[in-house]
């Protein structure tokens, strides 16, 4: 297959490295380079891809078809996405749910003005989970939707535990409560809060003398832990290194509803991920293909996972997908 889609990566953290790996698995794509705000000479990429300064990005307009933006949602993407979509087709993983409408509006304005496509908020939540929330409600208009996250590593909560004095190493996993998940499959518990549906499990390395105070501080930390069922396990450095290095995540979207008085139907979509950033990166890369194609057809403006037909995500021809996948 011809490598006709030329991709750039902006930002080289876990997500950017995941995109680099994912591009190699897609036969119609090539990686032109990584753009960074750090000193380009300080960065060695895994695939030996070239590294360029973020400031030089404009010079690549004839060489790159889609930029995949791998910055954070808190401060990077709100500025970066509109700026870059005025020069390139882009894909981002903006995941600050409450600010998505604003982000969409800003990106749309810039993208329309530049005749580019800006695919925002793809990944798995927002992204694949959003698609399943929408799909669940349209096929079962009378029913309830349940989203569970985990079992998965939460970066924010792990950081919060690590800030407690005496904590040497720590991770926090968000875990759906099994009985509540089983109930959801039967349509029970739609009114429960996130805190009632999930528990928090921490693995912490700390000196024995500090452990009871640390456990207390974790469990009473407001917002992060306080309303949740929280368990704290103190483990050795060795056990930590052996079992708690991966950025596992996942979750479930369930739609449960009746099609008539007697008949209940359940739709369930679940993810079980060894690497949250690598999987998110793989989704971004599939949507980069869509961004390229939509723009090739003359499309422009902001798009989300709701706005793009699935056929745009695959390198296969329409004939092939009708024959082998439909």
Q: Which residues are near a copy of itself by CB under 8 A?
A: 18, 21-22, 25-26, 97, 100-101, 104, 121, 126, 128, 130-135, 137-142, 185, 246, 259-260, 262-275, 278-279, 281-283, 286, 289, 304-311, 313-314, 318-319, 321-323, 325-326
Residue 18 vs 71, nearer CB to a copy of itself: 18
Closest approach, Cβ 22 to a copy of itself, in A, equals 7
List residues bridging with 230 in a β-sheet.
200
Residue 22 vs 218, nearer CB to a copy of itself: 22
Pick the closest to residue 139 from 255, 291, 54, 234 (CA basis): 255
Closest approach, Cβ 278 to a copy of itself, in A, equals 4
CB-CB contact of 33 with 11 (8 Å)? no
Closest approach, Cβ 289 to a copy of itself, in A, equals 8
Angstrom distance (rounded) from CA 3 to CA 45: 20
Closest approach, Cβ 317 to a copy of itself, in A, equals 11
Angstrom distance (rounded) from CA 117 to CA 114: 9
Residue 89 vs 132, nearer CB to a copy of itself: 132
Residue 75 vs 318, nearer CB to a copy of itself: 318
Closest approach, Cβ 235 to a copy of itself, in A, equals 21
Tokens 């991920």 locate to 273
Tokens 């050795």 locate to 236
Q: What is the DSSP letter of 67?
A: E
Residue 101 vs 222, nearer CB to a copy of itself: 101
Q: Which tokens hold the place of 102?
A: 């604003």
Pick the closest to residue 265 from 148, 139, 181, 179 (CA basis): 139
Residues constituting the chain: 326
């Amino acid at each position: 297959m011809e490598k006709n889609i030329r991709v750039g990566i902006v930002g080289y953290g876990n997500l950017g490295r995941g995109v680099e790996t994912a591009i190699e698995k897609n036969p119609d794509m090539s990686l032109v380079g990584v753009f960074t705000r750090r000193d380009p000479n300080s960065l060695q990429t895994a695939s030996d891809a070239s590294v360029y300064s973020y400031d030089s990005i404009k010079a690549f307009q004839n060489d790159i078809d889609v930029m995949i933006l791998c910055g954070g949602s808190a401060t990077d993407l709100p500025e970066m996405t509109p700026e870059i979509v005025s020069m390139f087709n882009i894909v981002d993983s903006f995941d600050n749910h409450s600010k998505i409408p604003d982000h969409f509006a800003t990106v749309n304005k810039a993208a329309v003005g530049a005749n580019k496509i800006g695919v925002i908020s793809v990944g798995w939540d927002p992204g694949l989970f959003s698609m399943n929330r929408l799909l669940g409600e349209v096929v079962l208009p009378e029913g309830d939707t349940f989203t569970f996250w985990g079992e998965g590593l939460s970066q924010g909560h792990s950081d919060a535990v690590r800030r407690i004095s005496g904590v040497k190493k720590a991770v926090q996993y968000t875990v759906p409560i099994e009985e509540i998940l089983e109930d959801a499959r039967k349509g029970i518990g739609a009114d429960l809060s996130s805190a009632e549906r999930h528990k928090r499990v921490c693995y912490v390395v700390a000196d024995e003398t500090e452990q009871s105070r640390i456990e207390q501080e974790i469990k009473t930390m407001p917002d992060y832990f306080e309303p949740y069922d929280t368990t704290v396990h103190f483990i050795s450095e060795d056990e930590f290194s052996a079992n708690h290095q991966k950025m596992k995540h996942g979750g479930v979207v369930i739609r449960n509803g009746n099609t008539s008085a007697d008949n209940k139907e359940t739709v369930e979509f679940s993810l079980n991920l060894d690497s949250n950033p690598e999987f998110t990166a793989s989704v971004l890369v599939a949507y980069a293909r869509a961004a390229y194609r939509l723009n090739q057809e003359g499309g422009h403006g902001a798009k989300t996972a709701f706005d793009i037909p699935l056929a745009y995500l695959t390198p296969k021809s329409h004939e092939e997908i009708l024959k082998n996948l439909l």
